[in-house]
Amino acid sequence: MKFCVNLNELTEAIAVVTKALSPNVENNILKGIYFSSYGNELFLKCSDSAVQIETLIPALIEDEGAAVLPGRLTADLIRKLKGEKVDFELDPSSNTMKVASKKGNFSLQYFDAGLYPQMDDLAGDVSFKMKQGVFRSMIKQTVFCCASDDEGKAILRGVFMEFTDEGMLNLVALDGFRLAKRTEKVSVKGNARNAVVPARAMQYIANTLTDGEDEVTVTLSQTHITVNMGSTRIKARLIKGEYINYNNILSKKSTSRVTAIRSELVDSLEIASLFSRDTQNNLVKFDFEGNKMNISARSESGSIRESAEISITGTPIEIAFNSKYMLDIIKAIEDESVALSFNTSVTPCVVEPVQGSSFYYLVLPVRLMRS
């Protein structure tokens, strides 16, 4: 195995695939980067056994072959190198990969590539295309509402991909305290089938996608999702089981509706959260005075009362929330203004667009203690 590759392209490729490296895997070979040289391309991949990220870059190949190099060491080394190109040559006699750059020569111990676990490459029977920026936005606006790995049912640790009869794709996530739903029009090839994708995989996908207009192709099989971005591809195992019937949770009516400028809400919530973070439930309280929504918090260290300009219809109420749960939602929204709907101080708040139905958030309140 011997090849020469552009240093900048290699650095970018390694940065992409090493997103799937995990220090917690039991199989040490999965802590490495898989290199394979063939034809005029260099293939790289990393996997944590549940998610695999792979990419191709052009290379000048003298001898084809494959090897697995130590992941973090290789990534750190390549990032420090200078020059336009870097040369690699496998030396089986010393079980090392020789690396030569403008300023020095190095050697890295390697694993036998034949021992690297292969993720099943099953042909998908459902696929759709979407602009990378749109799909990235959908993921980022929902994935944070998944249950963490140490809480909730396993099925809630993933994002639910739901295809409707009206030709819409819903991404849904919930963790028992809040729910996120993001909707976009999509044209599906094959018989659309719902799926639950692990939150970690969705985060990898979002971090690899760009905000641009280039298309991404998403393919689903019975057991896997594959996201193809041209030279880069992400594969992940799906979570087995039936997702919760979230439609039973959605609030169907409200007695009051508030429209606010999103950036003002973010500013007020961020300041209030400084005072709420030392309290149980990170509690912040909302109350209304005319065209103002007051956001207040109190702790042993002090108190604060911030105001945001709003318009309101219906009956004003007093209601409290975990500041992190509410702030995560408001920050994830990209619209200039948002609408918040309430019923009572003990029923969920719904956060929606002022117009349209591209997103829907539901967050449970914290019961206020009355003196």
Q: Report pLDDT digits (tens) over 188-240.
A: 999 889 999 999 999 999 999 989 899 999 999 999 999 999 899 999 999 99
Q: Residue 160 to residues 61, 125, 252, 329: CA-CA distances in angstroms?
A: 42, 18, 21, 18
Query: Between 134 and 369, where is the model more confident?
Result: 134
Q: Report pLDDT digits (tens) over 171-192.
A: 999 998 999 999 999 999 998 8
pLDDT averaged over every residue in the chain = 92
The answer to whether residue 166 scores a pLDDT higher than 70 is yes
Percent of the chain with pLDDT over 70: 97
Domains of the chain in start order, with CATH, are 2-115 (3.10.150.10), 126-247 (3.10.150.10), 251-363 (3.10.150.10)
Q: Do residues 281 and 366 touch, judged by C-beta distance below 8 A?
A: yes
In 222-252, which positions are buried (b, 16+ CB within 10 angstroms) versus exposed (e)?
eebbbbbbeebbbbbbbbeeebeebeeeeee
Q: Do residues 209 and 136 touch, judged by C-beta distance below 8 A?
A: yes
How open is the CA angle 321-323-324, to the nearest 5 degrees?
A: 125
| Strand ordering across the sheet containing 65-70 | 65-70, 32-38, 41-47, 51-58, 232-237, 224-228, 215-220, 126-131, 188-189
Q: How confident is the model at residue 121 (pLDDT cuts 50, 70, 90)?
A: low
Q: Summarize the chain as % helix, strand, coil (round to 5).
A: 25, 45, 35
Q: Report pLDDT digits (tens) over 15-29.
A: 999 999 988 888 899
Residue range 117-136: mean pLDDT, rounded = 87
Residue range 48-67: mean pLDDT, rounded = 95
Alpha helices in 28-80 (DSSP H): 71-80
How open is the CA angle 349-352-357, to the nearest 5 degrees?
A: 140
pLDDT value, residue 122: 66
Q: Is 104 exposed, middle or buried (0-12, 13-18, 19+ CB in 10 A)?
A: exposed
Q: Report pLDDT digits (tens) over 86-109.
A: 999 999 999 999 999 987 899 999
